[in-house]
Each structure stands twice: as C-alpha cells, then as structure tokens.
Structure 1
Amino acid sequence: MNQKDAPLWQAIKKQVNSRSVQLHIPGHNGGQAIASEFKTIAGRGIFQMDLTEIPGLDDLHNPGDVIAKAQALAADLYGADKSYFLINGTSCGIIALIMSLCKQGGKIIIPRNAHRSVLSGLVLAGAEPIYYQPAVLPGFGCLVGPEPVQIRDLLQKHRDVKAVIGVSPTYYGIVGDIAGVAKICKMAGVPLLVDEAHGSHLRFHPEFPPDALRSGADAVVQSTHKTGGSLTQSSLLHLKGEQIEAGLVAEALRMLQSTSPSYILMASLDLARRQMAQQGKDLLSHTLELSHWCREKLLGIPGVRLLSVEELGLPGAMYLDPTRLTISLLELGLTGYQTAELLAERYGVIVEMADYASIVAILSVGSRLEDCHRLVEGIGKIAVLPSGKPRAIPQTVVMPAPEVVLSPREAWQRLGQRTSLEQCLGQISGETVAVYPPGIPVVGPGEKITASVLAYLLEIRAQGYKIQGPEDPTLMTLKILI
C-alpha cells in the first residue's frame, strides 16, 4: 500500500473545493452560522471540513470507500490485520473489545489500575473482573506493567477466562514484558488486549520500547491524539490474528460510536498516519534529542530525581519511553502536586500530571527547544526555593486486596445511599476510591468494605491524600449499596 496517500483527507479536500450547495447537516453550513468569535480564532477552513456522510465521503459504520482505504493504510502501517478509526477516544475501543469477548458472567483478567473505561466495559458486558495488582516501582511510587508469571498464575487458576488486559506503556512510560505475557496468553488460548493509549509512537523509532502489536498482542487500542499527532478524541483500534472476531468488534463499535462521526477527527487520523509513515522517525529523532537534553540538564540540578532506565529492574518494568520525564523533588521537600503548581503559577509550564511523588512532563513530536528551556529553568529555580525536610513516599502504596461481592454490572443496577465512612464496615461499595500514588483503587463498585479497607480509607482521609472516584472527595461519606 502507498503510505503517501491520505484517501479520506483527499476526498474531504475535493468536497471543500467543489463549492457545492450544502442542503444537509451540520446546520452551520460550512461555517456560515458559526459565531464570529469562534471563526476569528479557528478560521473558516475547519468548518468547511465539518461534513457528513455525503456521496464520496463514505460511512464510518459501513465503510467501503475512502474510510475503508484509510483504515487499511493504518492497518498496513501498524502491522495489524484490521484497524478501526475511533472518534469517541480509546475508551470506546476498550469497551468494544470487552463487549465483543465477554458476555454476562464472562471472566476477564484486568489490572487493578485499569482506565475507568474498563469498568464501563464490565458494566455494559456484564463481565466479572479477575484483578491483578501491578508492582510499585520503589523511589517513585508508580506502577509498572503486567508480569508474565503473574498472568500465568491467574490463567492457571481461572481456566474459563475470556481475555487478559494489560496497560503498556504506563502513564510514566514504563513498558513490561508484553512479549512474555502474549506468549503465555497464546498458550492458554486467551486473547491479550493492550491499552496502548500512550504508545502510538513506539513503532516509529528504534530507541523506543517495542510496541504491543509487534510483541504479540491480539488487540491494541491507541490514543493517536496523545503521541501520534491527531486531534483530541481520535484513536485507533488494531486487531491481529484470529483470536478476536472482527465482525463482533465492528458491531460493538456501531453501538458505541456516534452515528454522526466527526470528519475532522477522522481526517486528522488519516493525516497523522501519513505523517508518521513518512516523517515519523525524523520527527521522533528530534523529540529524542530534546529528551536527552532535558535529562542531562535536570540530572545536573541538586535534589532533582529523574526516572531513568537504571531505576527499573522489575519484571513488569523492562523498558522506558525516554520522552516521558518523571521528575521528583521529594528530596527537596516538595510533592509532585506542589511542584506542578509552582511550575504553572510562576513559570507558565503546564505538565501532564502530578502525583504525590512526581510530575510527568511529556515531550512529543510537537515539542520545541524553548519549551524544554522553560521546564528546566522552572525546575532549577524551584529547586533552590526554601523548602521543608525530605519527604518519603507514603505507605498508601501497600493496600488491602479487594473482596468482590457483586459484578460491576450488578453494582451499577443496585440503588445506593450516602453513608458516613465510619459506618461502612461490612457494606458493599457503590463507587470507586483511588489514591495517588499509586493509582490503584482501594475499593470499587460491588466490593466489600472490610476492616482493613475501612482502616485504610480512614488513614488516607486523615492524611489528606489526593483521591479520585468518589462523589464526596473529602471521604466523609461513601456511597454504599442497599
């Protein structure tokens, strides 16, 4: 296939240049009815590309022309048998895979720190989770990827599992032994699904860790908008091999994706694929140069610790994406939250995320040297500010094991009520509580609040740690099922 082509983009461009009368949706009619303030910033061209399923532009839900060709080019580039454009993000791709593989009561092995879209997939499919907890990397309190032995033991214990899910790379750029996990899954006849949201760029440069599809995964979902150059909310789903029925995946996507898909998002996927095919290695070589420069400068600042390959060594941490800069100032008495706040407020540097231990800054194909200078300068100035004593990573990384009573679907369908946290012992949780670090839920919907879980929740509330999930972020109350 000719990777110089961009069939969907070329069809959209042809339509825009045709100057045809638009007596169809969307109602703004090529930008005619768009607020002038919006057009001043965005320009008119983007609205002219906001089209629908008119002749020549194909249909995402039944592709047979330019969208089909664009998806085939994506499959060819990424080494997949079949690829799908996603305009509802990676989330809908993960949900579609779960729905296509697991029916009511079907078991699926998932990491405890899986993206919340996995929980949505479990609810919609009626599947039952078999959890595994990734190891925590000492010094940074961040999670690593799946370990082959861990997955092997679970598959031996649960012979009726329908699929295994892994996260690779992690938010911190850590990649585990996906090839080893894939080999074990193939021996068990169980498909391996990889949430590769942060790894759409890995295939295009030899300095990056091996991508999941090349490592033997049966299905991979990538957030192309994160590291591949497409627009926010656009992603790709890839299938390889015969373990997963493509027709069921396509049917699930028809249920989950909008019947009015954005041609702007799809065009950005088509062009991002072409750009990576033609220029990916050169663009990423520049990104890696910036990364190496940043790493050298940051490591020269006293008290600053940077996650590097030398920090790895666990079975679930074999490789590191060097363009992820995980920076810790705990030795200087600053949490990641404080560091991120200082960078934003004083130096105008916005990082991707922060947890107790670190910040994560992402360098991409769109990063510039001046951006890196701002980051390094900001960290350097923060490092000399008066601060407190060195901080240790809290013991929240050691959590009680979950006790699942109801499936996520059953929990979703049950009524709940808010209850004082102190009164929740022995009750069934109706929501998720996750602490950062390490990002693993302490308790999830349908899980029993045991004595050890309650003691843990009371402790993190007393310490004031940052949590995600519950409606009441103070943890004074928790939703329990009745």
Structure 2
Amino acid sequence: MLPDQEQLPLLAALVRHCRTNPARLHVPAHRQGRAVPAALTDLAEKNIFRFDLTELPGLDDLHHPQGAIAAAQQLAAALYGAGRTFFLVNGTTCGLQALLLALCRPGEEILLPRNVHRSVLGGLVLSGARPVYLPPVVIKDFGLAAGVREDTLAAALARHPRARGYLAVYPTYYGLAPDLTGPAAVLHRLDKPLLVDEAHGAHLPFHPALPPPALAQGADASVQSVHKLGGSLTQSSWLHLGGARPDPARVAAALRLLQTSSPSYILLASLDAARRQLALDGRRLLERALTLARDLRRELARIPGLAVLDEEHLAGAGAAAARLDPTRVVISVHGLGLTGYQAARLLAEKHRVMVEMADYRHLVAVTGLGTTAEDCRALVRALREISRRDAAADRSRSVCPGPPDAPPVRLTPRQAWFAPARPVPLEQAAGLVAAETVAVYPPGIPALCPGEEITPEIIEYLSIVRRHGLPVQGPADGTLQTLRVVS
C-alpha cells in the first residue's frame, strides 16, 4: 500500500518542536532568529523566497567570484586578518576536506590529533593521505581530550619528516583551546603549514575574554562554522588562508570540486550579514553571552552532584589546554549517578530544556549571541530538580572508558574505503582491518577508522559501548553486533 503523500513528517516535527518553546542552550547562535543579523530580518520580512536565486547577472558566481561575492569575501578576510577568505555553503566539513585535498597527494602523510572530527575522514578518503594520529592531553577529573603537546608534535615530525603538515582542533567541542603559537613555530621552522579545524571559533576575535583566534597565533589556514557561534544560517561557514600555504589556487580548485554547483544565495547572504553584525556589534553581544555564562557556571556549581569545567581544571595540561572558551559550559553529571545521555533526556522530556550535546559523563550548554537569561535560569532549575528527584540512589556508576590508543594503520582510509569488505561478528574481528568508522556521537571522535587494525582493546571498548547502548555513527550495523572489515 502506498503511503499517504499528504503527510509532512519533517515539517510537522519542526512545528511541534517550536510550539513547545523550549529553553535553548545550543547552536545555531541566532537562537531561531532572536540574534539573527538585522539585514537577514529585513530579507525575511520582504519574503525570503524572493532571494532564493541563482547565478544571475550582477549576483556573481561563488566558484569564480569577481563581483558581490568577491567583495563580501574580502570584507570577511579583512575582519579576520586573513590573506583570503572563501565562503562555504557545504559547511566546515567541506572546508576541511578541501584543505586536505589541496595539501596532500595519495600516500603522503598528514599529522592529526586523534580527536579530529569525523568529517576529516572524508578528506583522507578523497586525498588518499595517510594519517599519523597523535595522542592529545587528557584533562584530569573530566577525561576530556585537549590539544597535542608541542614536544609530542616535534617528535612526530622527527619520525615523519615528509609529513605534509599538521591539522589541529581549536577550540574543541568542549571549549578547550590549546596554545597554537608553539606548534606553529615548530611547523614553520620546517616549512610546513598549520591547518586548524576552528569550527567552534568564529566568535573568538570579538572579545578579549575569549581565547585568541587561530590565525592570530600563526595558523596558515582555518575553517569556521559561522552558524555555530557567529550568527549565520546553518550549513554556512568560511575558510581563511593566512598566506601561501597551502596553495590558494589548489584550495580554490578543491572547493570547486567539492561544493555544490547550485549554492544557496540565502546562505551566502547570511554569511555577509553575520560578518557585518560581528564587526559592528560583536563585542556587545558577546559581553552579554559571557555574563550569562559566568552566572550560569556559578549557579550550576552550587547544585549537589554537578561539577563544572573551569580554567582551574586546565592547570595540569599546560599549553596543550591553555585556555577555555567560557561560552561553552561543560557540566559533569557523574556525581548524580547519571550518564550525560540520561540527563539530557530528562532535561528535554521533563523540563523542555535543550542543550548542545551530551556524552557518557557530561552535558555541554552553549551561551551564544541569542541566549537569554531565562534559558539559563531554566537549565539551573531543571538540573536542581534532577539533582533532587532523579539522581540515582547508587551514585557509584562506573565510567565508560574513553577509546583506547589509536590502533596500527594497515591501509590508508582511501584504500580501505574502496577495498572489498564483509561483515564479521565483533568478537571475531581481532587482527582484521576495519572498512568503516566507529565513533560514539557526540562528540564524534573515532574509536576506529577505515584501514586500522582491530585490536583486542578496541573490541573490549566497543563491547562496553554496545552494552551501555551508546549512540554510534559510522558502522553499517549500529548495534555493533558486527563490523565491516576488509576482505
């Protein structure tokens, strides 16, 4: 029987969600229009569908900009101190993949922290590069990955002198912002570039209380999700180049290959409008967001069973976790005997409070450009109630361990991606080569990547993930009963 084509399941779900009017402590930063740039509000009031256009005379061409788009990109570059800025309508994912495709040829090595976002895997498959993963420092008491130590990077470069460069994560999903000046100096002495996944850092240049942006610390390229904390529409990002590394012409060519040939002018216009708002009003908007975050931290720290990540927790990590972005409020609920997933579900279902993400141990709330004081008060009230009513009687819940050290790389991700593959039971996969990614999501840090050997430690870890029912992305079998391996 054919389904009823009068249904609108996705639109209906969006309408239902908006009707509940939840507290919103998540991205995008504009908070459903509350802090959307004024220019976009004007567009919407004039019927935004009028501006859903294509490459017409006078509107320029994203893939060969010479007019309005070129001028908008130049303004963004000037604001961020970049040599050149590219607008992206396929998200930061596209920008990161373009950098890898521009820099690396098949078989060439690239240094990466293990906590790179899963989008980087696509860049490795497309470029054929061979990843060399470096272990990040872990923040004691919270178990969160920060940056890679400078001496770790220097030693890796000595072992892999032909590596093309290093891709850093700055700041992390948890707001940890390692020092980049040391790694930049190490790389530049060897004439190698520092690339930065700065997805969560579009707001950093606009308030002195925030960590310094990547370009200001010597990064050669960075990609920022402007929609996350900059006020543009979801899926819009930009890529900054500091100079001639990697080759701007190759980056532009990679973007022409990867980006849609039908870019949304509404997304492009939202980048232009967000740039102006940040330039003219960013300091005021961020001052308000930082005040809300400071007050929120203080109130949450008073609730029994909660611990809130603060800069005092970074002392033991040194330059690998030099600063914390205060707009990211990381809350450990371990002392309540709950997982972060359970706490997030209680917040959403019982209290109509939506946070940015949860992992096994933490919640992450974001105070962005449009966050309200009532959003923050709602989160405090809800967590106070959860602490009082829903905390587990037995608070000795064991912590799900983080992924073990990266296993040996037997094939490049590209080789594994294209190799014949078959499913095998998880318990029988030891010694075989993975043909797929497995990452607990969020935060999306891979436990296993295509081309890596499946070790007994990986099997033990994934068995725990399966037992706890944690959400995973990447594997064909989301239950983790089987893994796909190279035949």
Give the TM-score taking structure 1 as reference length: 0.89
Which of 455, 467, 470 lines up with 1:450 in the alignment?
Answer: 455
Aligned residue runs from structure 1 range 58-69, under 5 A: 58-69=60-71
Contact residue 146 and residue 178 of structure 1 kept, 8 A:
no
Aligned residue runs from structure 1 range 95-134, under 5 A: 95-134=97-136
Matched, 1:252 2:257: no
2:224 maps to amino acid:
Q
1:323 maps to amino acid:
T
Matched, 1:377 2:381: yes
Contact residue 330 and residue 365 of structure 2 kept, 8 A:
yes
2:186 aligned residue: 184
Q: Which range moved further: 129-138 or 360-369? A: 129-138
Q: 1:284 to 1:157 in 2, by over 3 A?
A: same
Matched, 1:288 2:293: no
Q: Distance in 1 between matches of 2:454 and 2:143?
A: 24
Q: 1:12 to 1:228 in 2, by over 3 A?
A: closer
1:318 aligned residue: 322
How many Å apart are 1:457 and its aligned residue? 3.0
1:415 aligned residue: 420
Contact residue 179 and residue 321 of structure 2 kept, 8 A:
yes
Secondary structure of the residue aligned to 1:95 is helix
How many Å apart are 1:414 and its aligned residue? 0.7
Q: Distance in 2 between matches of 1:365 and 1:460?
A: 35
Contact residue 142 and residue 437 of structure 1 kept, 8 A:
no
Q: 1:370 to 1:273 in 2, by over 3 A?
A: same
Q: Distance in 1 between matches of 2:439 and 2:57?
A: 48
2:356 aligned residue: 352
Q: Distance in 1 between matches of 2:122 and 2:245?
A: 23
Contact residue 228 and residue 276 of structure 1 kept, 8 A:
yes
Deviation per residue, 1:274-312 (Å, 9 max, x gap)? 000000001100111111111121112222210111111
Q: 1:52 to 1:421 in 2, by over 3 A?
A: same
CA RMSD of the aligned region, Å? 2.2
Secondary structure of the residue aligned to 1:261 is coil
Secondary structure of the residue aligned to 1:337 is helix
Q: Distance in 1 between matches of 2:45 and 2:286?
A: 29
1:430 maps to amino acid:
A
Secondary structure of the residue aligned to 2:165 is strand
Q: Which range moved further: 470-479 or 217-226? A: 470-479
Deviation per residue, 1:115-158 (Å, 9 max, x gap)? 12211111111111011121221222221123211111111110
Contact residue 118 and residue 445 of structure 2 kept, 8 A:
no
Larger RCO, structure (CA 8 Å, separation 6 or more): 2
1:140 aligned residue: 142
2:424 maps to amino acid:
T
Secondary structure of the residue aligned to 1:162 is coil
2:10 aligned residue: none
Q: Which has the larger radius of gyration?
A: 1
Q: Which range moved further: 417-426 or 465-474? A: 465-474
Q: Distance in 2 between matches of 1:311 and 1:163?
A: 30
Contact residue 40 and residue 270 of structure 2 kept, 8 A:
no
Structure 1 unaligned segments of length 5 or more: list them.
Answer: 1-8, 17-41
Q: Distance in 2 between matches of 1:353 and 1:235?
A: 20
